[in-house]
Amino acid sequence: MRENSFGPGRSREYDRRSASDPVRVTSRPRNGWPGCIRSSQVHIETTRFGTVEVDDSRIVSFPSGLLGFSSFRRFVLLQPDDDGVFYWLQSVESPDLAFVVTDPSLWTPEYKANIRREQMDELSLKEIGDAQVLAIVNKRDDKLTLNLQGPLVLNIANCTGMQLVLADKRWSTRQEIVRLDAAARAVPA
């Protein structure tokens, strides 16, 4: 079983002879995905932002859904502001289903998500440069945490994604990134 390691940084083309070598990919969400060319605007109802209009090329299909939400398979990445590091992964099918996501490399630079050959095939992921890795953000008490054992891998060439389940003990489902009380004190009034 061969794996590729997905992490931050520049990408290189996938090479079948080096499938087990660590490969670093860009994981920050992009504006528009070149392989997902469609041309119509879609209106999506959300409970957080009201009705939003997005280009249908930004809709990502998760054929297996997300863990615990397998019946919801179409999502769009919404960027609340241009300089933000957090995004909303909003369900197209359910107005009240959305997840805050971020590029895990911004918080844990050494993070890599390993993907098996079968998973790459399922995503039709031919080039590592076509992958983006995101992590779901959770709020627990006074902390923001990342689920680094369940990263999302998106194929920007065909607008598909999947949630991986990693067994790597270095990562947690509740990897702390920010203490909210400390962050609030650091912001000048």
Q: What DSSP state is assigned to residue 149?
A: S
Does the pLDDT at position 10 exceed 60? no
- Do 83 and 72 form a contact (C-beta atoms < 8 A)? no
Task: Please give the single-letter amino acid code of residue 94.
Answer: S
Task: State pLDDT tens for residues 108-153.
Answer: 888 888 888 888 889 998 887 788 899 999 988 888 889 999 999 9
Does the pLDDT at position 68 exceed 50? yes
Taking the C-alpha atoms of residue 184 and residue 189, their distance in angstroms, rounded to an integer, is: 10
pTM summary value? 0.75
Task: Please give the single-letter amino acid code of residue 83.
Answer: D
Selected from 2.40.110.10, 2.60.40.1190, 2.30.290.10, 2.102.10.10, the CATH number assigned to the domain covering 3-7+22-28+39-181 reads: 2.30.290.10
Q: In which element (H, E) is residue 119 found?
A: helix 117-122
Residue where the block lists tokens 């779901």? 136
Query: Mean per-residue pLDDT for 17-42?
Result: 49
Instruction: Express as a percent the part of the chain with pLDDT over 90.
Output: 31
Q: What angle do CA 34, 116, 125 make, to 5 degrees?
A: 15
Mean confidence (pLDDT) of the chain: 77
pLDDT band of residue 12 (cuts 50, 70, 90) is very low
